[in-house]
Amino acid sequence: MHKLILRSLLGACAALAIGPAAHAAETVKLIVPFSAGGPTDQIARIIAPGLSDALGKNVIVDNRGGAGGVIGDALAAKAPADGNTLLLTTSSLVITAGTTPNLPYNPRTAFDPIYLLGKVQTMLAVRPSLGVNTLAELVAKAKATPKGLNYGSTGVGGTMQIGAELFRHAAHVPLVHIPYRGAAPALVALMGGQVDLVNADVPVLLPYIKQGRIKGLVIYDTKRSSLLPDIPDAVEAGMPGLQMSNWYGVLAPAGTPAATRKKIEDALAKVVHQPDVAAKLAAAGFTDPMGAAPFKAMLASDFDRWLPWLKKMGIHTN
């Protein structure tokens, strides 16, 4: 009897020892290379519950912000390629490749693209008191301002700066860069008259445009935004070179087994088409989700387009 009790106790202890380890193996870490509360973090928390159900694993959002996404990207790049660490990042992956020297990973080869959750259109907007109503009027205003108009951004190498510099280059106008510690203070400065214009994602600017606190001038795309259908696209505005979107995608460390990648890809495709998730992504301006193969091709095209342009423009973090 005593031996039977002892064997039972030992079995219980073994179960307790194995239990946590087994549970840990069933956890997927979804690294977000930006701070909690930001757009990327919000998207991660929209898809995490559904992804957890689809994979049968506990998906945990792990915010690792800093250095324009480099800290989180580097952490994901060095993680084991076993499918239990994923990266939800944005166009910043491409931008930092062209603006940040001596990265601790190779952005082109460090990751396997899994699924593109969607693209978000960006747009150029101005303070209403600037007195311009079209892109042509903004160009004329900028050329008539000796020291150039001011634009706000999240800092050197951020997508807000890239969007404004794209306009400066296409329109051949003088602009002065005023960096801030995030999109929110840059928008406050725009509404307060400290800067004249910004480029940002359509959903970020949408509420302020509807309130009349910011005036939208042009969508950086060949088509208008469904969220702001009255604002012309770049072709209509007479500057077709203004083409830029911010994408949000899930990647895995390079070398993750193909079968594992396919399972995660299928799970994400299932999640983004769930009615509640699809509605939230649509409200956030997301369009054109795509699987691993087209996402990989798009990413390669982005590297080929933006890296030479960033080098030509001399935009770098240090």
What is the chain's pLDDT, residue by residue, as a tens digit (318 residues)? 444 333 443 444 443 443 344 444 489 999 999 888 888 899 999 999 999 999 999 999 999 988 878 899 999 999 999 999 999 999 989 998 998 888 999 999 999 999 999 999 999 999 999 999 999 999 999 999 988 999 999 888 888 999 999 999 999 999 999 998 788 899 999 999 999 999 999 999 999 999 999 999 999 999 999 999 999 999 999 999 999 999 999 999 999 999 999 999 999 999 999 999 999 999 999 999 999 999 999 999 999 999 999 988 888 776
d(C-alpha 219, C-alpha 243), whole Å? 9
d(C-alpha 58, C-alpha 66), whole Å? 25
Please report the DSSP string for 153-176 in residue order.
Answer: ESSTTSHHHHHHHHHHHHHT--EE
Q: Are 127 and 215 in contact (CB under 8 A)?
A: yes
Q: Are 227 and 285 in contact (CB under 8 A)?
A: yes
Name the strand (E) or helix (H) holding 199.
Answer: strand 197-201
d(C-alpha 34, C-alpha 39), whole Å? 9
Mapped onto helix, strand or coil, the DSSP state of residue 22 is helix
267 in the Ramachandran plot: left (φ > 0), alpha (ψ -120 to 50) or beta? alpha
Mapped onto helix, strand or coil, the DSSP state of residue 314 is coil
The pTM score is 0.83
d(C-alpha 96, C-alpha 157), whole Å? 7
The two three-digit tokens of residue 109, written as one number? 């080869």
